[in-house]
């Protein structure tokens, strides 16, 4: 029936809307995936970006790491294209289809409302026809019965003429009513047939046509949306291709030769390879001693005494000392801190723990050199945490030159910043002088004075570092001043002997050498070495201290103390964790700073 067809169409069109809504949901989830993917890509790129002002930034000077950084940046742009996909799909598909679904639902509702209305109208017409038909049938029957009654009355001789006339009139009335019902039924029937023809051949086909057009538009729209779905992806392919091309270009820019050369430049030390080691003949029945003659024989017969910092010294220095330095810097400090096993102030010449050098075979002396602990005064300027001395004298020559140059450039930049501020304040002051209503010119004088002092301090720092840089580059003679850690008395005591740690490590041309004190000990008899300091004045006291813990003082250059003992301080801690103290005129040495409570004399210099 027609009603069944309407029901089928209603179900089908509802299914079409459900399909459309399902596709909208699919595209919406796709956009969420694109956004999530873009966010994850951006987070990934951010995660592996070098952190500012960190060591990672230095690593990105190599072509391979720069290519990786370019890849990260391109991945960021790549993520941006996926965000574009999400935005375009949301605006061109999801948003448009959502509005279209609302319109489609309204249109569908309207069409089926018209169909139900037409169906109700034809049903009403059919009911009217049925009512007219029943009335006509009833009136015909009534007229027939009235006619039969009249004929019966007319044939009966016992009935009066008046009764017969009355029956005749009633039969005529019923017959007229039947004729009227017949005419009405005929008219109603014609009207119904017309309405039914209009219903089945005009109204219902028009409604079905509209529903068909609506459904076809829905199918076309979902097809166009699928095409847009692909086009949105296709539009970003060229840009994504450019991102990939840039990644390929960055990868092709990787230069292994350049990177390896940068590594060479970064870690180039300036050392020369060690010389050949001479053969020692143990078949001769003689006792080899640490004397000038045996040293000369081991270094080369007939050669004069090597100068300080000369290249003929043992070249094993850089390969040994650096490892010792690293072991010192990485040694743990336990609270209360015991003295580090590698940090013994053995180079203090007048300490009670400095034994006189005994004559022994050169091979034994060499072994001792290979295994001896670094002398603590060579690291006096090292701070806790492993920072090097201010002049970078703990570095190889080439590395030291680079560090000094970087420091000079950094200080020059700071000077330029301060000068720019000073120029700006000077202009502001001139404006205030010309226009007093704008501000007080005297208010900037204090800041100008501070900037002048800062600039002067920075210039002095630049001069200091430029001097060290010139020394490394060979433009100036080697420094003769002692390290800041040593006292002035010790400088006066030892003008020609051990020249302290800074010169232990470097020669006039900035290269690493063996420890000067070691060669001096091997060349000079021990008695002469100690006698240099026998008649010297002791270091002045700068305060007192109380021992908080018992310290055994087993390492060379240290002194043992008992808990609660009061002693004199002759040199305070310079940042390496050691304090130099004295018990009496003959007993002095180093103890861990954390083992004593120091009371410095404010008037002591």
Q: What percentage of residues in the chain have a pLDDT greater than 90?
A: 34
Residue 481 has a CB neighbour count (10 Å cut-off) of 10
Which comes out higher in pLDDT, residue 427 or 26?
26
Per-residue confidence at 555, pLDDT binned at 50, 70, 90?
confident
Average the pLDDT over each of 20-34, 160-174, 230-244, 310-324 and give the range with the smallest value. 310-324
Per-residue model confidence (pLDDT) at position 485: 36
Per-residue confidence at 279, pLDDT binned at 50, 70, 90?
confident
3-state secondary structure of 579: strand
Kindly report whether the peptide bond that precedes residue 336 is cis, defined as omega within 30 degrees of 0.
Answer: yes
- Burial label for 569, CB within 10 Å (0-12, 13-18, 19+), is buried
Contact 44, 75 (CB under 8 A): yes
Which comes out higher in pLDDT, residue 367 or 524?
367
pLDDT tens digits for range 367-377: 443 444 433 33
Residue 566 has a CB neighbour count (10 Å cut-off) of 12
Average the pLDDT over each of 60-64, 292-296, 397-401, 454-458 and give the range with the smallest value. 292-296
376/355 Cα distance (integer angstroms): 16
What phi and psi, each to the nearest 5 degrees, are found at residue 252? Answer: -70, -20
pLDDT at position 517 over 50: no
pLDDT at position 1 over 80: no
Per-residue model confidence (pLDDT) at position 156: 82
CA proximity to 325, closest of 374, 398, 370: 374
Contact 313, 507 (CB under 8 A): no
pLDDT at position 425 over 50: yes
Per-residue confidence at 414, pLDDT binned at 50, 70, 90?
very high
| Top-ranked range on mean pLDDT: pick from 91-95, 431-435, 470-474, 486-490 | 91-95
pLDDT tens digits for range 185-221: 999 999 999 999 999 999 999 999 999 999 999 999 9
Which comes out higher in pLDDT, residue 238 or 436?
238
pTM: 0.48
What is the 3 state secondary structure string of 120-140?
A: HHHHHHHHHHHHHHHHHHHHH
Per-residue model confidence (pLDDT) at position 263: 86
Per-residue model confidence (pLDDT) at position 313: 38
Per-residue model confidence (pLDDT) at position 265: 82
Average confidence (pLDDT) over 280-302: 52
- Give the pair of three-digit tokens for residue 65: 């790491």
124/129 Cα distance (integer angstroms): 9
The sign of the CA dihedral 243, 245, 251, 255 is: negative
CA proximity to 374, closest of 352, 351, 346, 395: 346
557/377 Cα distance (integer angstroms): 10
490/249 Cα distance (integer angstroms): 63
pLDDT tens digits for range 306-365: 334 333 333 344 444 444 333 333 333 334 445 444 333 433 333 333 333 333 444 444
Instruction: Tell me the CA distances in angstroms from 406 to 399, 401, 466, one per residue in order.
Output: 11, 9, 11
Which comes out higher in pLDDT, residue 316 or 148?
148
Per-residue model confidence (pLDDT) at position 34: 95
Mean pLDDT of the chain: 75
């Amino acid at each position: 029936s027609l009603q069944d067809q309407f029901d089928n169409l209603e179900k089908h069109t509802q299914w079409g809307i459900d399909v459309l809504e399902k596709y909208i949901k699919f595209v919406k989830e796709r956009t969420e995936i694109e956004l999530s993917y873009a966010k994850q890509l951006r987070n990934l790129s951010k995660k592996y970006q070098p952190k500012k002002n960190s060591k990672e930034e230095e690593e990105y000077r190599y072509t391979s790491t720069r290519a990786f950084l370019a890849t990260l940046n391109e991945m960021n742009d790549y993520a941006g294209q996926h965000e574009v996909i999400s935005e375009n799909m949301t605006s061109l598909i999801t948003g448009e289809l959502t509005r279209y679904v609302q319109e489609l639902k309204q249109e569908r509702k309207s069409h089926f409302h018209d169909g139900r209305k037409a169906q109700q109208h034809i049903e009403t017409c059919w009911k009217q026809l049925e009512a007219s038909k029943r009335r006509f049938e009833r009136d015909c029957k009534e007229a027939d019965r009235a006619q039969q009654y009249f004929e019966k009355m007319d044939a009966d001789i016992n009935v009066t003429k008046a009764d017969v006339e009355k029956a005749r009139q009633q039969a005529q009335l019923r017959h007229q009513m039947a004729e009227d019902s017949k005419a009405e039924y005929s008219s109603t029937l014609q009207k119904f047939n017309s309405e039914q023809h209009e219903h089945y051949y005009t109204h219902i086909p028009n409604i079905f046509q509209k529903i068909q057009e609506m459904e076809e538009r829905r199918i076309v729209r979902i097809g166009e949306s699928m095409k847009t779905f692909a086009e949105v992806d296709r539009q970003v392919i060229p840009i994504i291709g450019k991102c990939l091309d840039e990644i390929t270009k960055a990868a092709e820019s990787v230069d292994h030769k350049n990177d390896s050369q940068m590594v060479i430049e970064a870690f180039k030390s300036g050392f020369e390879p060690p010389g050949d080691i001479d053969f020692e003949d143990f078949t001769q029945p003689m006792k080899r001693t640490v004397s000038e003659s045996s040293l000369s024989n081991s270094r080369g017969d007939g050669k004069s005494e090597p100068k300080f910092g000369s290249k003929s010294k043992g070249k094993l220095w850089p390969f040994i000392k650096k490892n010792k330095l690293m072991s010192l810097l990485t040694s743990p400090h336990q609270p209360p801190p015991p003295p580090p096993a590698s940090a013994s102030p053995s180079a203090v010449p007048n300490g009670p723990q400095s034994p006189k050098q005994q004559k022994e075979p050169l091979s034994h002396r060499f072994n001792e050199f290979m295994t001896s602990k670094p002398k603590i005064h060579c690291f006096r300027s090292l701070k806790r945490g492993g920072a090097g001395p201010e002049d970078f004298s703990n570095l190889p020559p080439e590395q030291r030159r680079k560090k000094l140059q970087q420091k000079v450039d950094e200080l020059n930049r700071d000077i330029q910043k301060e000068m720019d501020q000073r120029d700006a304040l000077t202009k502001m002051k001139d404006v205030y002088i010309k226009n007093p209503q704008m501000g007080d010119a005297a208010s900037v004088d204090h800041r100008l004075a501070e900037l002048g002092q800062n600039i002067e301090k920075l210039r002095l720092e630049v001069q200091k570092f430029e001097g060290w840089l010139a020394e490394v580059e060979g433009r100036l003679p080697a420094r003769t001043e002692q390290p800041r850690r040593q006292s002035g008395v010790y400088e006066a005591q030892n003008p020609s002997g051990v020249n302290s740690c800074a010169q232990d490590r470097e020669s006039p041309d900035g290269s690493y050498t063996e420890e000067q004190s070691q060669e001096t000990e091997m060349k000079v008899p021990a008695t002469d070495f100690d006698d240099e300091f026998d008649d010297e004045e002791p270091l002045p006291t700068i305060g007192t201290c109380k021992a908080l813990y018992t310290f055994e003082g087993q390492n060379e250059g240290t002194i043992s103390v008992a808990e609660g003992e009061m002693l004199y301080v002759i040199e305070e801690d310079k940042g390496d964790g050691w304090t130099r103290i004295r018990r009496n005129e003959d007993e002095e040495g180093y103890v861990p700073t954390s083992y004593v409570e120091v009371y410095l004399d404010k008037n002591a210099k």
